[in-house]
């Protein structure tokens, strides 16, 4: 059981999602952008665990907006490329 837990932790720390998130946080210029990335990352993590995950921008945007993050339109905009990249990871 403990070995299984370590394997999952190792996978998560080396996963493309985590690596993308870390890279985007480093690149983010403002605290607002960092917080928005954090919100989207939390939502995507929850979606991964869901029975029927939904990574459509409209869905993620609605959940994000409810948490104080960017809306679906903000994610779709040219300035939302980093959010799109995180959702695709």
pLDDT above 60: residue 45? yes
Query: What pLDDT, on a 0 to 100 scale, did the predictor assign at position 36?
Result: 98
Is the per-residue pLDDT at 76 higher than 50?
Answer: yes
Banded pLDDT at 15 (limits 50, 70, 90)? confident
pTM of the model: 0.81
Q: What is the mean pLDDT of the chain?
A: 87
Q: CB burial class (10 A; 0-12, 13-18, 19+) of residue 37? A: buried
Which pLDDT value is given to residue 22? Answer: 95
The confidence band for 10, taking pLDDT boundaries of 50, 70 and 90, is very low
Residues with Cβ within 8 Å of residue 33, at least 6 apart in sequence: 82
Residue span of the structural domain in which 63 resides: 2-88
Q: Is the pLDDT of residue 56 over 90?
A: yes
* Number of independent structural domains in the chain: 1
The Cα 2–Cα 80 span in angstroms is: 40
Confidence of residue 14 (pLDDT cuts 50, 70, 90): low
CA angle 19, 45, 85 (to 5 degrees): 50
Q: Is the pLDDT assigned to residue 12 strictly greater than 60? A: no
Structural contact between residues 32 and 2, judged by C-beta atoms closer than 8 angstroms: no
């Amino acid at each position: 059981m403990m070995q299984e837990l370590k394997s999952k932790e190792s996978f998560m720390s080396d996963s493309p999602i985590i690596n993308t998130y870390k890279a985007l946080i480093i690149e983010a210029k403002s605290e607002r952008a960092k917080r928005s990335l954090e919100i989207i990352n939390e939502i995507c993590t929850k979606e991964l665990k869901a029975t029927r995950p939904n990574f459509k921008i409209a869905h993620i945007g609605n959940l994000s907006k409810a948490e104080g993050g960017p809306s679906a339109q903000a994610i779709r905009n040219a300035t939302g490329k980093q959010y799109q990249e995180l959702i695709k990871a």
